[in-house]
Amino acid sequence: MHESLTQELNKAIRAIKDYPKPGIVFRDISTLLQDARAFRRSVDALVHPYIGIGLDQIAGIEARGFILGGAIAHQLTSGFVPIRKKGKLPGEKVSIAYSLEYGVDEMEMHRDAVRPGDKVLLVDDLIATGGTAEAAVKLLKEMGADVIAACFVIDLPDLGGRSKIEALGVPVRTLIEFDGD
């Protein structure tokens, strides 16, 4: 029987309770990545709306956004831009502070990674509160990029991330939703 993408993702994504701390259900995509068919189908589904629109760059958020973003960039014949944790990039950088549950962190991008007017798709594995993706969108826009959309395999809708990104004028696409955090 033909299995829907939702069914396949439900099986392929592993939930690990109380990681990285008590009360959090970690949605682990490593089991999805090692399942060739589920990985392929996920990338195909993420790519689909953007075929033929001439995206210049796929921006992936460290670290799981690199894996998905690299595959998406290859399939769309786009470039790939890493958005990294502070201190990892060697060249001239732009950085932005963003809030985590406790305290703040910083993410960075090479200053010459995107040009004004570049059409960019932002990619990560999961959107929760949206704080991480919001910072990435702001960084890209600061460099003059036209952020066409942000896409994720997983949405945790209870945490409200989608509306935070849509409020910046960036459409959000996700493949599956899970309750809670």
Are 125 and 13 in contact by the 8 Å Cβ rule? The answer is no
Q: Which 3 state secondary structure label does DSSP give 88?
A: coil
Determine the interface stretch with ligand AMP among 24-32, 47-55, 77-85, 143-151 (rule: CB under 6 A).
Answer: 24-32
The minimum distance between CB 167 and ligand AMP, in angstroms, equals 14
> According to CB under 6 A, which one of 32, 124, 137, 153 is a site residue for ligand AMP?
124
Task: Give the Cα separation of 112 and 92 in Å (integer).
Answer: 8
Active site residue 101: yes
Q: Which is nearer to ligand AMP, 3 or 181 (CB)?
A: 181
Which one from 27, 41, 64, 162 is the annotated catalytic residue?
64
> According to CB under 6 A, which one of 76, 118, 130, 145 is a site residue for ligand AMP?
130
Which amino acid is present at 92?
E
Q: Which is nearer to ligand AMP, 45 or 159 (CB)?
A: 159
Exposed / middle / buried, residue 33 (Cβ in 10 Å: 0-12, 13-18, 19+): middle
Strand residues in 12-75 grouped as ranges (E): 14-17, 25-28, 57-61
Q: Which residues are catalytic?
A: 64, 101
Site of interaction with ligand AMP (CB under 6 A): 24-27, 61, 64, 124-133, 161, 181
